[in-house]
Amino acid sequence: MWIYIIRKMFSTVPIIFGVALIIFVLFNMVGGDPTYQMLGKHANPKLIAEIRHEYGFDQPKYIQFFEYLKQIATFDYGRSYATRQRISEMISNGIAPSLSLAIPAFFLGTLLAISISLLVAYYRGKWIDKVFVFGCVFGMSLPSLAYILFGQYFLAYKKGWFPISGYETTWPDRLEYLLMPMFIWIAVSLGYDVRFFRTAILEETNQDYVRTARAKGLNEPRVFFKHVLKNSMVPIITNVVIEIPLLILGSFLLESFFGIPGLGSITIDAVHNSDFPVIKAMSTLISLLFILGNMVTDILYTLVDPRVSLE
């Protein structure tokens, strides 16, 4: 297993290099000279020269690329154009609020989705299955913004059950500000997850080993929880791990609408201010998290399904 993990880690190096090259080309070559985007086309030539030297834009492109690789390795992405704050500090300050929202909502939503999927798959074709499938399709059809506006207007403004927006740095004071965004996160993701997990579970119920288990006299709950659920974990893990970057970034819309100072809000503000170093750093972070997630997925496959060989 350790040899397999080490081999997978080394196999991600060329992928990281390729992703870094694409991001560098998009931000440093395709987008034009960042100096003019910072200062405008009619800025003082002396000031332009100073900014180009400060940010290294006067260096050859290959030197800038290797400097970017150094930033990835050291997690030091320089300073923001807009705030002049170090980007690594901005990311460090934004991780805690994002994780405070994402981790409880993610795990509660995943557990709830798997539980509902098992229930509707167990009663497949019956009224409870049809009701949940209709509800999932209806929920998936609504945009995220509709959930946010409904929560803020009816639950927060009209009913007064939650604060409309805000954030506290201390526990448990911040919990009252996170409850409604958590519920909205779960509601938004529940429809898709239940539909996906239900399909994965139902595909396993038609396999030969399930018919054999039933023929041996095993009761239906034991067949579902001991055999079907375990063998349907491969597609479920794939779907869950794809959402891992959201644990760090949180939800852009939720953090922006509810005033949560997480990485999602930082990214939205950077887009509004054309703060390209921050946008580039966040794009790199998202890419690295997806690469890490894929590696973790391959490792988890071998733990839940012995048929997956360590190759």
The percent of residues above 90 in pLDDT, for the chain, comes to: 0
Contacts of 272 (CB under 8 A, 6+ apart): none
Instruction: State both tokens at 239.
Output: 């779907």
Instruction: State both tokens at 260.
Output: 């949560």
pLDDT, residue 195, reads 84
Instruction: Say which DSSP state 280 is in.
Output: H
Task: Express each pLDDT in 254-290 by its tens digit.
Answer: 887 888 888 888 888 888 877 788 888 888 888 888 8
Domain boundaries, the chain: 14-74, 99-304
Per-position b or e across 278-297, b if 16+ CB within 10 A of its CB: bbbbbbbbbbbbbebbbbeb
98 with 179: CB under 8 angstroms?
no
Query: What values do phi and psi take at 305, rounded to 5?
Result: -135, 105
How much is the pTM? 0.75
Per the listing, tokens 């350790």 go with: 2
Helices (H), the chain: 2-25, 34-39, 45-54, 61-74, 87-122, 127-141, 144-150, 175-205, 208-215, 220-222, 229-231, 233-242, 244-249, 252-257, 263-272, 276-304
CATH architecture designation of domain 99-304 = Orthogonal Bundle (1.10)
pLDDT, residue 36, reads 65
* Rounded mean pLDDT for each run of 10 residues along the chain, 311 residues in total: 75 85 79 65 72 75 85 83 83 84 85 85 81 84 82 82 78 80 85 83 78 77 75 76 67 79 82 81 84 75 61 52
